Structures are given as C-alpha cells and as structure tokens.
Amino acid sequence: KRELIVAIDGPSGAGKSTLSKSLAKELGYHNIDTGAMYRSVAFAAKRQGIDPADESALGRLAETVRIEFIRQGEGERVLLDGVDVSSAIRTPDISLLTSRISAYAGVRHAMVELQRKLGAQGGVVLEGRDIGTVVFPQADVKFFLSASTTERGRRRYEELRAKGLAVELEQTVAEVEARDAADCARECAPLVQAEDALVIDSTAMSIDEVFRTMLQEVRRCQ
Ligand code: C5P
C-alpha cells in the first residue's frame, strides 16, 4: 500500500474537519488542519495588536510564528509558539479575522510552505481551501466537500453551541455566507474546485455515508 497525500477542500461547515480526522484515523495517517494554521496567525495578530489592514506586518508575522500539531489522547491540539490555542482560535471573531488575513499573499506563502513540509512524506490528509489546487496539485486523492449554505450554517451553529458559545442561528448562517463569499472572491488562491476532485454534496447525506464514500475512493487509489 502506498502512503498517499489526500486533499480535502470545501467551504466552511461542509464537514471537512470531522471527515478528515476520521479518515486519517482509519488510514493511520496524519491529519493536517490548515484552517487552524491560518486561524493561529489571526490569533497571534490580534494578540499583538497588529492592524488587520497591515499586509506586510501580517506577512512577517506568518513567517515567524511557530505552529505545531501535537497528538493528545484521541484529539489533536494546535500549539502557537508553544501555547495550546486549539479552543481560542475557534471563536466567531477569529473566524472572520482569519478570512481577512488569509487573503494576503505573504501570509499564504508562509503557510503553504509549512503545509508542503508537513505533507511531503505522504501518509497525510490535509483539509483546507486550496490543498488540491495550490498546496498539493499532485495529491493522490482530491475531494471537494460541499453542502447547502443553510445546512452548513446550521452545522456550524450546532458546533459552536456545543462548545457553549452563545451564538444565534441566523447570525451564524450569515457569517458562514460572508466568509464563503470572501474565500471565493479573493485574488490569491480562492476557493475553487480542482478539476480532478471528487465532488461530494453532503447536504442530504449522513457523516457515515460521506465517510464510506471517501474511504472507498482512497482505497481505490492506494
Ligand atoms: O477551515 P476553517 O474554517 O478553520 O478556516 C478558517 C479560514 O481560514 C477560512 O475561512 C479561510 O479564509 C482560511 N483558509 C484558507 N486556506 C486554507 C484553509 C483555511 O484560506 N487552506
């Protein structure tokens, strides 16, 4: 069996995180959450009081922060300069700030380089927006996961609620829409489907169904 590079792209709330984690676990692969990397840069920027409009300062920040993934029991944690930021990077305001700063070429350049290093050996599932198009255009298996905006907003709402955040459904749907629009409209590495990606619309599918479809595709390519 070959150690593959598996790319999972798609808009927020499509189920990328859940599926990439469970696929990686099933295959014995590393799971690389690239959104968490952009979120960590946004979090560091906020903490240091950097102006979100200051593109060059943000580019420099992205070059210098240290982002690591460590395994802890069943889960995986994100460390920013040695500090666990796994929960802190998931708030709605960090989500919006992330979408903004991830449009900058300098920020993307630093993250893409790190992602290529982490994935180069294969045996990885990477999830994000531009994995199959920019980071690893030669990935062995590419998925593009989507679902209707309402369904994705609803999922994100449940997720945030489960974490104890006092969010409203309507506002969560609106934020998901705004973030998608920004991710698709940006000039640098916008969210687009790779031509050779297997597109899965999960609106009316259970997580388990999506999981089995994806696993089958990976096994076929191994
Ligand atoms: O996947 P997640 O929702 O955690 O990503 C947060 C934000 O990070 C996205 O809205 C997008 O702006 C950015 N992102 C990106 N490229 C990636 C992963 C995430 O631009 N590969």
Q: How far is the CA of 1 from the centre of ligand 1 (A)?
A: 31
Report the pLDDT value the prediction gives residue 106, as an integer from 0 to 100: 97
99 lines ligand 1 (CB under 6 A): yes
Report the pLDDT value the prediction gives residue 13, as an integer from 0 to 100: 87
Report the pLDDT value the prediction gives residue 71, as an integer from 0 to 100: 87
13 lines ligand 1 (CB under 6 A): no
Q: Residues 149-188: pLDDT tens digits?
A: 999 999 999 988 998 989 999 999 999 999 999 999 999 9
DSSP the chain: ----EEEEE--TTSSHHHHHHHHHHHHT-EEEEHHHHHHHHHHHHHHTT--TT-HHHHHHHHHH--EEEEEETTEEEEEETTEE-TTGGGSHHHHHHHHHHTT-HHHHHHHHHHHHHHHTTS-EEEEESSIIIII-TT-SEEEEEE--HHHHHHHHHHHHHHTT----HHHHHHHHHHHHHHHHH-SSS-----TTPEEEE-TTS-HHHHHHHHHHHHHHH-
- Which two three-digit tokens encode residue 117? 């290093």
- 213 vs 194: CA distance, rounded Å: 18
Q: How far is the CA of 89 from the centre of ligand 1 (A)?
A: 12
Report the pLDDT value the prediction gives residue 150, as an integer from 0 to 100: 92
pTM of the shown model = 0.94
Q: How far is the CA of 216 from the centre of ligand 1 (A)?
A: 26
Report the pLDDT value the prediction gives residue 26, as an integer from 0 to 100: 96
128 lines ligand 1 (CB under 6 A): yes
183 lines ligand 1 (CB under 6 A): yes
Q: Which residue CA neighbors atom 2 of ligand 1 most closely? A: 35
Q: Could you say which residues of the chain have pLDDT below 50?
A: none
Closest by CA to 1, choosing from 132, 123, 136, is 123
